[in-house]
Structure 1
Amino acid sequence: MKLRLKIHREIAKAFLSVSCICVLILIPWQTRKTTVMNHKLISLMQTFITRDISPLANAIFEERIRSINVRAKNILEIEGVESVYIFDAKYRLLSDISTEPQWIKGDLHFQTAAKHNLDSWTTKNSLWYLQAIPVFDETIGYILIEYSLADMKKNETLSLLLFTGTIVMFTLILMLLTNRLIRKIILRPVDHLIQSMTEIEKGQYGRQISNISEDEIGELAGKFNSMSLEIDTSYNQIENRNKQLKQTKNLLDSIINSMPSILITIDDQGRIKEWNTRAEEAAGISFSSAMGKPLNEVFPMIEKHMDDISSALTDKATRKFTKVETMIKNRLHYLDMIVYPVVTETVEGAVIIIDDRTDIVYMEKMMIQNEKMLSVGGLAAGMAHEINNPLAGILQTANVLKNRLTETTGIQANIKAAEAAGTTMESIRDYMESRNIPHMLDVIIESGRRVAEIVSNMLSFARKSDDTAAPHSLSNLLDKTLELASTDYDLKKKYDFMAIRIRKEYEDNLPEVPCEAGKVKQVILNILRNGAQAMQEGGTEIPCFTLRTQYEKEKKMVCMEIEDNGPGMDEEARKRIFEPFFTTKPVGKGTGLGLSVSYFIITENHGGEMSVESIPGSGAKFIIRLPVKGSRNLHEPGAQQ
């Protein structure tokens, strides 16, 4: 209940109590007043009767009814007398003088008074007075007078109503004045306090109350103002701290979520409490779904290390695990895992950091493989130099033989030698031609030149990548790589690159592209070999390569396409074809590095683009784009290394 209603109720109760007390005091006072008035009336009637008692006694003694009635009428003329009854000593009614005929009522009252020896009594609206009429100490009759109390009671009622009305009016006025005073002194300041508290409740901290009085409510308002200022100060401090905490939390969350590592917080029971975005991506479920679940249920990849994690929690010691092998999406991954126990007064658990070292491990393997390739390249270069020496002798000797056996004129030494042998150069030429020896010599010379060109390409391909970028025609690089690939032959698989049909669709007047020719030829050769082997293993009846070059003006790049008509590849293999160590060949038949290295050469070294399009059963098409302006990663001539 509100204070206002309580005060009003208490005021009403107080004034009602005062009114009731006044009424209770008024009733006895009024009763006493009535009794006094009755005594006065009786005394008054005694005075009137005493004045006429002697004549009345004589009239009763002599039984003069007329004189008795006259005396009775005289008494009736007294103001307030309602009836006069006169009886003889034997209680016979001698006179009945009344404003209304009521002798029966008078007789009844006389009998009642005589029976109970009463001299006065009251009824509802009348005062009855009975007095004996003596003569020489002997009662010869009685006079009964009825005095009307109606006017007196009416006056008493009016007085009572007036008094009561006055009290009620006074009470109401006093209540209104009191209510107004209380409202001014108490309720309004309290309402102001309540309004201010409501505003504080709504967030308007620091609210101040003005016009403070010097009473207790004013003191309360002063305390309220002080409390409001303290609340405002505390709230601002809390807000600032919350803001700082929020900023710190956001910063920590950003740092944690930006980490490439998987970060997981678990409790002492191995249930997940927190993790970062990388962990959510690795698990494939939201944090709300993983919250509170066992770690091994969400990350089955570390199931076999749960005992070690539990041991770290129990011993409160850090545990490290390196190169943990696990299969993720059908691919072998290598993980490094560190378990850091967390022990505070209220929290026990651990922070687990998991790093995917797969690319690093693959890179290490790639470096080892590259070292092997460099060794093989160095061996190939040495072999090429060794081949060049006898090859030069073969070519030189073949040319000398051709000159000595086929030149009939112009060389005197040939003519002299023929004459010394008893023949002529013409006869020798005829013999040679009949045996097709000049053609054989031409074949030896052409084959020697081809071998020399192959050795030159091998030397260029095997040489370490210290080449500088220079403008090259991609069409020429394709042709040179085709010559190098034409020597590829596998006797066991009955695989011969020369048996593959080559279609060329080169655009004319292509701009030259700044590139490292050796590396680009390495990429082209790798694509050609993979395609040739795929067509041979897929049983393609008429294997064919289609080579295209064109200039893309929008991208300012020269595009070359290498398309085969082999078995192609599915979508999963197409998406992963450039991943390190991914291969569709049987174990031991391929390293899975060729295309990943090729992709690195095109995209990183030359700033180009490399992609593949394939549909199973419809062959594969590799698309390579190189910028006309070259890449910043290229070693340009004259640039500092």
Structure 2
Amino acid sequence: MRLFSVFNKLSSIPNSPFEVLKGEYDREGILSNSNEQLRRIIDLSGFSDPVRLSDIFPKTFPVSYPKTMFSQLTNESVSIKPFFFGKRKVSYLCFERLGHLENSITFIALPFDKTSILQLLQMYTQFEGYYNSNPDLVICVDSTWHIADINSAGYLKLGYASKDEALNEDINAVFILSEEAMKYIAGELAMGNSITEFELLLNQKGGGHISGLASIFALSYGDDEPQMYYFHIKDTTLQTEAFTGQLQMNMELSELNEELNRAYASMLSQEKMAALGLLAAGMAHEINNPLGFIFNNVTVLMNHFKDLKSFVTTVRELYGQDGELALKISEIQSLDKRLDLDFVFDDITSIEQENHEGIDRIKKLLGSLKSFARKDQTERLSYYDLNAAVKDTLTISKNEYKYSIDIEEHYGKVQQFLCIAAEINQVLLNLLINAVEAIQQKKGRAERGLIIIETSQDNKYSYFRICDNGPGISEEYVRKIFDPFFTTKPIGGGSGLGLTLAHDIIVNKHKGKLEVKPSENGACFLVSIPRNLESIEE
């Protein structure tokens, strides 16, 4: 390795412990460029302009020496000569016709003794070892933004067969940078700033890309702009791919979560429809009963109407027949007795009351059903009347329990609170139907079953409790009772989602509590809903 090359690279090491003096001069021996160390050690302001090499080193270089050096040096030639400036000895002075300007010669002065030179070479050897064995990409770019040097890790990772193949490559063909990014890098380096942790994407020669995290700094000498840019690039391709894969996985999980939410909404709708389907026959019976007697009453009313019409017709025939009045009065009395008009009048009054009662029952049932299934409040908070909701739920499900189960209702003073009304209605119905079915599963019952419903509140929660005297729940089942698809019913007897959805609505969405208290004489479900709820967890 040429000594000049060693010294030249060492002069570019930031914060070097050695003073490496570097400059350029032209054919006339005029100094055209100098680094900071040369300007600091030699006060150039004390020389007349232009400063010549013979002014700086008068004992070593006569005026004619620079021209002689031009004729002797080629790009491969190096001259080493110990010399003095002032009282300070410079052990080595290297020249090379490789100046920054055209027709100029670069010189590097090393003001060291022999021991220092050995230390310097050892330092460079260590630097070269680090440079060449570094697993990161180290790329040196010249002022024209072409690759001037690159370590082995750099050219191999970029897909080049050798360093020579990578040299002089336009950096824009290697780095994938926007115009704004290039301007930012050039601007920061021109101001003497270094750049750290700059994300880069690099092209590989055979196709493909490398992701990297770069530290960038500029090296220069003289008063001109920086002449070399160093890119120390840590290969982050694997991390980037892992991050991209994780990002893709997160996106897929997000999409899956949306699908699960849609599936949940669908299951909730299906569970509600299943509950309504279970009630449909009962509600039809509850509606058909009053409709049946209303229909019969209408038939009776029509018969009464015909009798009254016959009576009125007979009365009207008296008009203008005074001579036969006595005979006609006798006929009217006979008709009145035969038609039993007193009974007709009483019966019409009774029928009117009965019809009104039947119509009111239908209106109440339809009103309860409408309140239970109000779609306009499915996804938003609204004020909820718990006591009224319990009564509505009992009304629409009456046919499920009225023949074999008694209901005890204990309503506390419960103020309205915010919740998703349709979903709390769903919980009420699910727990009530669950209690009814539990009682119906208990075989050999001689007496009627019993369900007790209680409502209450405190400062923090509104409560409702539904207890039954069915067969109860074993400790083993208590741990599983809210699990999806868990059911003790025979195959085809239920979806196993009713209590799961109730738990999700109360605990996850409303941040409340759903607790089960098993016993040998039945089971109690206690629901606690926060009174200060302001938003719903989606």
Q: TM-score range by the shorter chain?
A: 0.3 to 0.5
Max radius of gyration: which structure? Answer: 1
Task: Kindly indicate whether structure 1 or structure 2 has the higher relative contact order, using CA contacts under 8 Å at least 6 residues apart.
Answer: 2
Q: Indicate the structure with greater helix content.
A: 1
